Amino acid sequence: MKQNEYDFIIIGAGTAGSVLAGRLSENPENRVLVIEAGPGDRSIFINMPAAFSEPLKSDRLNWGYYSEPEPAMNNRRMYCPRGRVIGGSSSINGMVYIRGHALDYERWAENGLPDWSYSHCLPYFRKAQRHEFGTNPYRGGTGPVHVTAGRAKHILHSAWIEAGQQAGYEYSHDVNGYRQEGIGPFDRTVWNGRRCSAARAYLHPAMNRDNLDIISKCKARRILFENKKAVGVEFSQKGKVNTVRASKEVILSGGAINSPQLLQLSGIGPADRLKNLDIPVVADLPGVGENLRDHLEVYVQYESKQPVSLYPSLQPLGRVKVGLEWIFSKTGPGATNHFETGGFVRTKPGVRHPNIQYHFLPLAISYDGSIPPVGHGFQVHAGPMRPTAKGYVRIRSNDPDDHPEILFNYMGTENDREEMRDGIRLAREIIAQKAFDRYRGKELTPGPEAKTDDEIDAYVREKGESAYHPTCTCKMGSDNDPEAVVNNEGQVYGVENLRVADASIMPDLISGNTDTPTVMIAEKLSDSIAGKEPLNPSDAPFFEHPEWESKQR
Q: pTM here?
A: 0.97
**Judging by beta carbons within 10 Å of its beta carbon (0-12, 13-18, 19+), is residue 59 exposed, middle or buried?**
exposed
pLDDT score for 364: 92
pLDDT score for 367: 65
List the domains of the chain with CATH numbers.
Answer: 5-530 (3.50.50.60)
Helix residue ranges per DSSP H, 369-509: 414-431, 453-463
Answer whether the bond into residue 362 is a cis peptide, omega within 30°: no
d(CA 37, CA 261): 14
pLDDT tens digits, one per residue of 435-456? 999 999 999 999 999 999 999 9
pLDDT score for 371: 65
* 246 neighbors 231 (Cβ within 8 angstroms): yes
d(CA 419, CA 346): 9
Average pLDDT by consecutive 10-residue portion of the chain (553 residues)? 91 98 98 98 96 90 97 98 98 98 98 98 98 98 97 96 98 98 98 98 98 97 97 96 97 98 98 98 98 97 96 92 96 96 98 98 80 85 98 98 98 98 98 98 96 98 97 97 97 98 98 98 98 98 98 98
Q: Which residues are catalytic?
A: 469
pLDDT score for 542: 98
pLDDT tens digits, one per residue of 293-322? 999 999 999 999 999 999 999 899 999 999
pLDDT score for 353: 98
Query: How far is CA 116 from each of CA 119, 258, 514, 537, rounded to the nearest angstrom?
Result: 8, 24, 16, 10
* 95 neighbors 519 (Cβ within 8 angstroms): no
* Residue of 245, 213, 259, 201 lying closest to 4 (CA atoms): 245
d(CA 251, CA 246): 10
* Residue of 114, 188, 181 lying closest to 148 (CA atoms): 188
pLDDT score for 98: 98
Specify the DSSP class assigned to residue 471. B
How far is residue 257 CA from its own chain's centroid? 12
d(CA 132, CA 188): 11
pLDDT score for 3: 86
Q: Taking the CB of residue 176, how many other CB atoms lie within 10 A of it?
A: 23
- Give me the chain's average pLDDT, please: 97
The rounded radius of gyration (Å) of the Cα atoms in the chain is 23
